Structure 1
Amino acid sequence: MAVKKRFPYRAALVACNGGCRTAKDGQGCADGCIGCGACIQACKLGAIFLNEYGAAEVDEEKCIACGKCAKVCPQEIIHIHECANYIVVKCSNKSKGAAAKKQCEVSCIGCGICEKTCTAGAIQITENHAVINEELCLSCGMCAVKCPQHAIYDLRGIYTEIK
């Protein structure tokens, strides 16, 4: 279904890539997607689905950024982002370095490399994970290239592989 979008284009983004395999066994990240499907039920356009890891994922082409999914997410990891900003953090793990790494193979460990690499000053480490200020981000992709955990990546797949 074609959806008419207004400029600036926005869409929902799930700050989890399912690297912990959605914590179904209780061993993964407590801060990530739990695959409950509440967001899928809330989306009347069918823009959200569970990926191969059981984590929610958004089809930006279908999403109109209404925010209903963000309101019902029990983990509070869905937010509306500017589609022009292709560089995103797909992690919301708040655990410190080694613990985060143990919980999820692609978890942000809060190392700060992205923060030091960003020439625009758009990234800050908050609660042990990277947060991008989209108003400042230039989408240059240097943070995604330098991220040792691949928790930051380019949604277009140019600087980093789409996961």
Structure 2
Amino acid sequence: MPRKPQHPECLSRRLSYQGRKFGFEVATLRLPNGVEGELETIRHPGGAMAVPVAADGRFVLVRQYRFPMGEWLLEFPAGTVEAGEAPEGTIRRELEEETGFRAHHWDFLGDFPLTPGYSDEYIHAYLARELEPLDDPPAQDDDEDLETVLLTGEELMAAARAGEADAKTLGGYLLVRGRLG
């Protein structure tokens, strides 16, 4: 049986920055081979994502401008889990705010790390079905400018190949693809 790899030893940690949604930490590590170095990590409370599927089988996404990328991207609705909030509560709220739809059936798909090379963020993914458009949807957050878009799986994959969809959306699509008949 293969030997379990040894973890690096953390010699020190310091929080360099704490923002409204995440923190930036610098840790000094000693690797199992004795080499010491610094590692920078974004500390994030986690997120929740819906993979909403309309009655006709199309996926409900949002198109939003992502400043770090300088691009408009297609994404499944998602949001940061607030302190004291369960991920399922987060995504129910976010689905309504971002798309104007409410889901009457929810299935947990799983959790996965988003960018483990520099962040500890996990996303909690849910399949949202039996969608109902809201007569009076809640207002979007002040810092969001979203457009609701419905796409087939083929259209979503074409957008992904063109660099127009983010990784969490692709991960959610892969988690749900085998569940839909």
Is the structural similarity TM-score above 0.5? no
**Which has the higher Rg, Structure 1 or Structure 2?**
2
Would you tell me which structure has more strand in proportion to its own residues? 2
TM-score, normalization: structure 2? 0.27
TM-score, normalization: structure 1? 0.29
